[in-house]
Amino acid sequence: MTDAHWLFGDQLGPHFTAPRDGVPGRDTPLVMIEARSVLRRRRFHRAKAHLVLSAMRHRAAELGDRVTYVQAETYREGLRRAAGSRPLTVHHPTSRAALGLVRSLGQVTVGPARGFLVPHEEFRAWADGHGTRRLRQEDFYHWVRRGHDLLMEDGQPVGGRWNFDHDTREPPPGDADVLGVPAPYRPREDEIDDEVRYDLDRWERAGEVSFVGRDGPRRFPATRREALAALRRFVRHRLSAFGPYEDAMLAADPVMSHSLLSSSLNLGLLDPDECVRRAEEAWRADEAPLNAVEGFVRQIAGWREYVWQLYWYFGESYRRENVLDHRAELPGWFLELDADAVTARCLGTVMAQVRDTGWTHHIPRLMILGSHALQRGWDPAAVTDWFHRCFVDGYDWVMLPNVVGMSQYADGGRMTTKPYTSGGAYVHRMSDLCGGCAYRPTERTGDRACPYTAGYWAFLHRHRELLAHNPRMNRPVRGLDRLRDLDALLRQEERRGDEPP
């Protein structure tokens, strides 16, 4: 019996079917399984369910007779129907659950991961080489740049610096309400999307599945061709502006100069190597400035890659980390993406973006959504699950380090040196979201008290002992002593409870 090769729904680009070390063979038959149980298990954003099914079905249509595409209740059932007891190969899946499943089946040989820059063993050797020293993303990033000869000349970083980060932290430009860069690529739906929409409607009507968020025209690439067009348009027309305003937020311009490429990378439609190479080529051709190109390369070769590696390196217990002992359940308005129930303009605006598109850029994720969850003491595992379900680019591997570590500080600082949360002053400085808000970032008690400002002090107070030992937090913690209205603030936050702010 000849082997067949199994493609998961996030292994859709040509780099997952191109033979390398004989896997898969040039003509190896392929198997894809659309397992309905995945959609039943969690209440995903409707746009995410649509995107993933659309991308899988588009890939199956491209592969034609070479693939057996089975719609089944579970992976096991689908595999039985598609391959029987035939031996299979698969590239290393992206979640522990999927890896556990393929290993338990007995008939599947797991090959190396594709779609990332660094093999697991190399990362492990690098990380183990640190002994008890802290792992730092910045060190990892330098190591990847050297190893992959990215933005390097004669062994040194081009421009004489590794990092142009301090050039990329600018507040939004003065009086403009949009950044004014050319719009990102938008795909056009086709008959496969019609079919997906028909199926989702049907399953939802039958009560088999249920979603959050709004349906709408598909905004993210579902095919390699669309993903390449999106990459091309970004590099040609939008990359130059990526640098300075990467951390800024504008109410009327949620995308600004961000690439919108995360879902394509995470579906495997794009390979990270081609994304960073194209950005570097743009700089070498004088088509984009170094600070923008370096910033983009750092996001992919630094952050994305680091997060992927840490997911495996930190082990299964990482998802249960909860050093701050945050136990509160997520309130209904947040679970339902009820943006209209929210008065705080920043949170309401960002929740509406998530409700309508399943996407928002990294600062709203970190400093608006995640920061609110942290300040309210919500259970980090439930927050992780919420991000996983509500974002078009959310997968287990990318959620755990980003949410448990980066956003909720539930790992006590293995991923970051301090909790990422702030008062309203930060939001005010980095966005236009405080203008026209019912609250004032400078006020911490009373009717106009900004929920972020008050929430920040209440958070510091709650974790005073733990944070006082953190060199980056002891100054703000000492600031608590200067607050004459701390008791009133704490009572106010207690009263606010789970109400939408």
Give the footprint of ligand FAD on this chain (CB under 6 A): 258-262, 265-266, 299-300, 303-304, 307, 361-362, 365-366, 370, 387, 391, 393-394, 398-399, 402-403, 406-407
Cβ proximity to ligand FAD: between 89 and 360 the closer is: 360
Site of tokens 């890939």: 59
**Least Å from the CB of residue 277 to ligand FAD:** 14
Cβ proximity to ligand FAD: between 194 and 274 the closer is: 274
**Least Å from the CB of residue 365 to ligand FAD:** 4
**Least Å from the CB of residue 242 to ligand FAD:** 7
DSSP state at residue 174: T
* β-sheet with 4-7: strand ranges across: 67-72, 30-35, 4-7, 88-91, 108-111
DSSP state at residue 278: H
Please count the other Cβ atoms lying within 10 Å of the Cβ belonging to residue 436.
Answer: 8
Three-state secondary structure call for residue 259? coil
Site of tokens 């698969």: 90
CB neighbours of 285 closer than 8 A, spacing ≥ 6?
none
d(CA 112, CA 93): 9
**Least Å from the CB of residue 252 to ligand FAD:** 17
**Least Å from the CB of residue 229 to ligand FAD:** 15
**Least Å from the CB of residue 369 to ligand FAD:** 7
Cβ proximity to ligand FAD: between 6 and 245 the closer is: 245
Cβ proximity to ligand FAD: between 366 and 467 the closer is: 366
Helix ranges (DSSP H) in 220-260:
224-233
DSSP state at residue 138: H
Cβ proximity to ligand FAD: between 5 and 258 the closer is: 258
Answer yes or no: are the C-beta atoms of 334 and 355 closer than 8 Å: no
- Strand ranges, E, within 79-213: 88-91, 108-111, 152-153, 156-157
Cβ proximity to ligand FAD: between 410 and 477 the closer is: 410
d(CA 112, CA 120): 9
Q: Is the peptide bond before 401 cis (omega within 30 degrees of 0)?
A: no
Answer yes or no: are the C-beta atoms of 107 and 88 closer than 8 Å: yes
Cβ proximity to ligand FAD: between 279 and 449 the closer is: 279
Encoded tokens for 156: 């040194």
Cβ proximity to ligand FAD: between 334 and 391 the closer is: 391
Three-state secondary structure call for residue 237? helix
**Least Å from the CB of residue 241 to ligand FAD:** 11
d(CA 433, CA 350): 10
**Least Å from the CB of residue 344 to ligand FAD:** 18
